[in-house]
Amino acid sequence: MSKSSSNPKTVTQSAQPRFGRMDLGLEYVTEGIARARDWLLGLQHPDGYWCGELEADSMLESDYIFMHVLLGTGDRGRMERAVNEIVRHQNEDGGWSNYPNGPSNISLGVKAYFALKLMGWSPDHPVMVKARNWVLANGGVTECNTFTKIYLCFMGQYEYDAVPAVPPEIVLFPKWCYFNIYEISSWSRAILVPLSIAYAKKPFKKIPPEQGIDELFVGGRKNAHLHLKWDKKRILGWRNIFLGLDRIAHWAERVHIRPLRKVALRKAEKWMLERFEKSDGLGAIYPAMLNAIIALFCLGYTVDDPQLIRAMDEFEKLGIDNPEGEPHYPTPTFRMQPCVSPVWDTAQAVYALGEAGVSKTDPCMVKAADWLLAKEVRQKGDWAVKVPNVQPGGWYFEFNNEFYPDVDDSAQVLLALNCVTHPRERNQHDVSQRALDWIFAMQCKNGGWASFDRDNTKMIFQYIPFADHNAMLDPPTVDITGRILEMLANYGYDRRDKRVEKAIQFVLKEQEPDGSWFGRWGVNYLYGTFLVLRGLEAMGMWNHEPAIQQAAEWIRMVQNADGGWGETCGSYDDPSTRGIGPSTPSQTAWAVLGLLAAGDTRSDSVAKGIRWLIEKQREDGNWDESADGRNNEATYTGTGFPRVFYLAYHLYRDYFPLLALTTYKRAMEKEAEEAAA
């Protein structure tokens, strides 16, 4: 939203630039910083933390309805409002996307259609006709991913024999075994263990024929080819080997040769219940929590059992209920979040505010630091299987998730704590040192850092038949490594430390031919590139190095005509579209931060980017990051699983632009001081 020229604080054509042809005077930047700072401070919770909404696609609402119908639970009103949320995100072609303005996705389409039928919608309704036509035109139910098919099995809409086996015996592999569950990503582990319980128990909910989805099978369900497809090009490849093992597992299921099944179920149940403790549900993430609830039902837990009550309560807390509707969408809605992000948002907000000049002893900063210090992990979790000889430290993403601290959050919290002078200075020092020791212990062999585990890189797991959610592994990434380099520099580490140098060499080796870096946890190359550049700058790398200048040139090349930057989630599917998309506040901020880190303070690109941020800032100090034409749905600039699941962090539009404006102002002031000297 451009500012009106009638506002005396608005940047207008008559404003005289102070630093260059495209630059704004610093007074406008200073005013923008003040408004953004005050806005962000106003969002702080009385307990000291920040937590913005974490938005995801309509699959969550579809699964919410599915689960409650399966189990015979749930609030009918909430489920009806979830229907409204699903319907409002249907695409013009009849399908549903996993990010706004993206292509329709077959699994989302089937789930949405099924959820609406479970809620009593007629197949003749225009919404249903459009959805059905799109699904059939794109291959029908058999083209869905594995998790969708397994859920359909629970209600008799697919055959158990036609989905990949997820036997609970996977938990029995010893830790030294190549195929033990700690060799897959932490989120896959938390999703698959309860799912394996459900697969073993094979729940079946008989639903009325009119609620079934036989019409979504191309040629009819009885004629559908339901079995998994072999790789004809690589007869002896790993996919075919695993498919052969899968067929053996199915045969064993049919003839009841399962000698270790009872032992496996007991161990899987124990594993799951242990991770309920000190956690907001299993893994504190939506799919694991949903699967855990279904698993408890399959194991015979009743609705009045404390474990099930607690699991259901934690799951429902992810919901955002708007029975009266919202200003931009008056229809009552209910939507689910994939998890919550208080530690992440708090660490980012504190760091941005600290960089913006908020005093290290400001009560708001101290209160936030108090809250973060209280969230330190003090118990060993899954990570300790590979890293046994280091004491716990670091932080997780959510309110409580003791078994799963992550390196990225831990690094950002350390950056935030460095912006605060806490009255209990010794305690803050000790907590920070434990986190530093833990982060160093989590460094992978190649010098980089992953999120939750060390050296979680066995590519063979990607060929397992149920691995089509594209997230079986947690390899080291340059975006996390870049953030850690920046953090380590703030704590006095430099390139003389062999661990630091190894990390630098890792990110340099990962640079793309065009100069950019891939972003695993943010969309996409803009995210990865800005974090690497900030990390290298913090470590004192000369900004005239070819790698840095090439990265800066790439950022300048992908700038939009309006002066901002944007990149869609589609760049994960088609890397040739990297850096291409409508301008957004968060991604414009990343690009500006990247250029400033590369030593570019004077180019038109930086000036235009700063002008874009100032002109798009609202009078109250925040920015709008809604996707055009999607009922004010936020643009997704966060990444869950590339090519599968994306996120909109609602506070990204606030703290990243604030950080960019502040960093720019500091650079300009430093140049002015140097010129005066």
Q: What residues are labeled active site?
A: 408
What is the full DSSP assignment across 534-575?
HHHHHTT--TTSHHHHHHHHHHHHT--TTS-----GGGGT-G
CA neighbor of 192 nearest in space, from 280, 294, 317: 294
| CA proximity to 485, closest of 537, 431, 543, 547 | 537
Distance, in Å, from the CA atom of 405 to the CA atom of 435, rounded to the nearest integer, reads 10
Distance CA 573, CA 562 (A): 25
Pick from 165, 158, 161, 131: which is nearest to 142 by CA?
158
Burial per residue of 222-261, b for 16 or more beta-carbon CB atoms within 10 angstroms, e otherwise: eebeeebeeeeeeeeeebbebbeebeebbebbeeeebeeb
Between CA 472 and CA 458 the distance in angstroms is: 9
Residue 322 neighbours by CB distance under 10 Å: 16
Query: Tokens standing for 509?
Result: 């080796």
Q: Which of 567, 561, 604, 592 is nearest to 659 (CA)?
A: 592
Rg (CA), the chain: 26
**Residues 6+ away with beta carbon under 8 Å from 591:** 526, 530, 555, 558, 559, 565, 609
In total, the chain counts a number of residues equal to: 677
What are the residues facing 335 on neighbouring strands? 320
DSSP secondary structure string for all residues of 605-666: HHHHHHHHHHHH--TTS----BPTTSTTPBP--EEEETTTEEEEETTHHHHHHHHHHHHHHH
Residue 96 CB partners (closer than 8 Å, separation 6+): 57, 58, 59, 86, 89, 90, 104, 105, 108, 109, 112
Task: Check: CB of residue 277 under 8 Å from CB of residue 398.
Answer: no
